[in-house]
A and B are shown apart, each in its own frame.
Chain A
Amino acid sequence: MTGHLQRVLLLIGSPRGSQSTSASLGSYLLSEMEKQGAETGVINLYQYMKSDVGRNDLMDAVNQADILVFVSPLYIDCLPAPVIAALEMIRDRRMVAQPPWRQRLIALVNSGFPEPEQNTTALAIYKQFAKEAEFGWAGGLAFAPGAVINGKPLGDAGFVARNARKSLEIAAGALARGGPVPSGAVKLADKPLVPIWMFLLNANRSWKHQVKDPAVWKEMEKRPFRKTN
């Protein structure tokens, strides 16, 4: 324990909650931070943002944490709506409270598409949030494609997740020393978890397994809406 890591709060921003790839990535980072002596807590943003009680509890947890770890999927090239709602609320409530804040924030994003750089805008939004809500920006990491992890604990996700694990281990070590996410962690995260050609081959095939009903399979390209003038 170096004294820099005290309370780390993981904020999971996926509707799949604890079954999500976001949770896999965040939990792995958290367990690495626990090894460095951190006390950790987890919040499911979708749940907490549903009620006034939840929103107040979320604010209390945020205010008590030394490091916030936001983790979410990429939705329509940016953050899922309930995550944006949480960020808007946190900024608005902090603006009427008392600075100076000394908390830091790191963001992890994962996407369906296999190129990690498709997450760049989402990470830029988290960084801008950190600035406006007065958190120290400790860095962001993007992982892709999320489907190869598909909510499995990262430790059980095998060879494909090796770069993701290593990246998060490096990040945890740096955060423990009070530093930002180092470029070595970013470089490892920036490597697609599987080659793009392999992704294309497997991902398109996988839909047939997910669509159980042959009648639905025949209608996959259906167009329910038609333009009228």
Chain B
Amino acid sequence: MRAVVLDGSRQGDQTSRTAREVLEEQLKENGWKVRSLLLRDMDIRPCDGCLRCWIKHPGLCSGTDQGRMIPGLYITSDLAVFLSPVTFGGYSYQLKKALDRMIPNVLPFFEKFKGEIHHRKRYDAYPKLIAIGVLQKPVQSVEMIFRALVDRNAINFYAPAHAAGFVYGTEDRDTIRLGVRTILSRVGVMA
């Protein structure tokens, strides 16, 4: 089983770093192959909305930077993890620059799905999705926005299971480990 971790943390963010380390440890202990991408160190330019990935070379981004490989890494995984400082309730720029490059993984055609219009699937299977939001301390209002965003992404990314959870700057390593374990178990990755 393969997991891809999209780490959208900022330089010097120790809590995100700890969260990623304990996440990788737990997945590996359970036999997962883990590929982590430290997005801030990667050459990933913003999606320019050209839609060539739909109308010129279906399923492939025409960019020549490292962002080009994001859809492939995502779709060939069984689990995708979004790790990000909770930024106004949403994702950081570092994570979002990668996520904006993911539209090749769906078809341009629309259909009704869960009562709303969405793009049709390109692939038969999509990875489970977990999102770990990093906050200095619990803040209910932004956590609600974050959860709503992850729920919406799970629909558009056809995740067969998904969960969002939080780790806090006030927590020690063991508490963060427990928190990450709980999130993983919610999508059936861990007993």
- Chain A residues with Cβ below 8 Å from B116 are 113, 115, 118
Distance from B50 Cβ to chain A, minimum over Cβ atoms (Å): 8
| Per-residue contact bits, chain B 105-117, to A (CB 8 Å; 1 contact, 0 not) | 0011111100011
Task: Verify B90–A221 contact, CB threshold 8 A.
Answer: no
> What B residues does A78 contact at CB under 8 A?
90-91, 96, 149
The answer to whether the Cβ of A128 comes within 8 Å of any Cβ in the partner chain is yes
Which of A79, A82, A225, A226 is within 8 Å of B90, CB to CB? Answer: A79
> What separation, in Å, do the CA atoms of A148 and B60 have in the docked complex?
26
Contacts A84-B96, A203-B110, A221-B107 hold; do A121 and B149 have CB atoms under 8 A apart? yes
Asked whether any CB of chain A lies closer than 8 Å to the CB of B190, the reply is: no
Find out whether the CB atom of A84 lies under 8 angstroms from the CB atom of B56: no
Contact of A76 among B2, B104, B111, B156 (CB under 8 A): B156
Contact B110 A204 (CB under 8 A): yes
Known: A76-B99, A196-B117. Contact between A15 and B88, CB under 8 A? no
A221 touches B58 (CB 8 A): yes
In contact, B59 and A223 (Cβ under 8 angstroms): yes
Q: Is B66 located at the chain interface by the 8 A CB criterion?
A: no
Residue A81 lies at the interface, judged by CB distance under 8 Å to chain B: yes
Q: Return the CB mask of A157-189 against B: 1 if under 8 Å, else 0.
A: 000000000000000000000000000000000
Given A77-B153, A84-B87, decide whether A228 and B142 contact each other with a Cβ distance below 8 A: no
Q: Contacts A84-B87, A84-B90, A223-B122 given: A128-B141 contact, CB under 8 Å?
A: yes
B108 touches A207 (CB 8 A): yes
Within 8 A of B (CB), among A186-226: 196, 199-200, 203-204, 207, 210-211, 213, 216, 219-226
B137-163 vs A: 1/0 string, CB under 8 Å? 000011001001100110010000000
- CB of B96 within 8 A of CB of A120, answer no
Would A113 and B87 count as touching, CB distance under 8 A?
no
Instruction: Choose among A46, A120, A216, A219 the residue that contacts B46 (Cβ–Cβ < 8 A).
Output: A46
A190 to chain B, nearest CB (A): 14
Asked if B4 lies at the interface with its beta carbon under 8 angstroms from chain A, I say no
A124/B148 contact (C-beta < 8 A), A76-B102, A225-B71 known: yes
A87 at the binding interface (Cβ < 8 Å) = yes
* A91 and B2 alpha carbons, distance in the complex (Å): 37
Report A80 CB to chain B, min CB distance, Å.
6
Whole-angstrom distance from the CB of B37 to the nearest CB of chain A? 15
A211 in contact with B96 (CB, 8 Å): no
How far does the Cβ of B65 sit from chain A's closest Cβ, in whole Å? 13
Chain A residues lying within 8 Å of B72, measured Cβ to Cβ, are 224-225
CA of A156 to CA of B50, assembled, Å: 24
Q: List 27 A-B contacts (CB under 8 A).
A: A15-B47, A15-B48, A16-B49, A46-B46, A75-B96, A77-B149, A78-B149, A79-B96, A81-B46, A81-B99, A84-B87, A84-B90, A84-B92, A91-B88, A121-B149, A128-B89, A128-B145, A204-B110, A207-B54, A219-B58, A221-B58, A222-B58, A223-B122, A223-B123, A224-B59, A225-B72, A227-B75
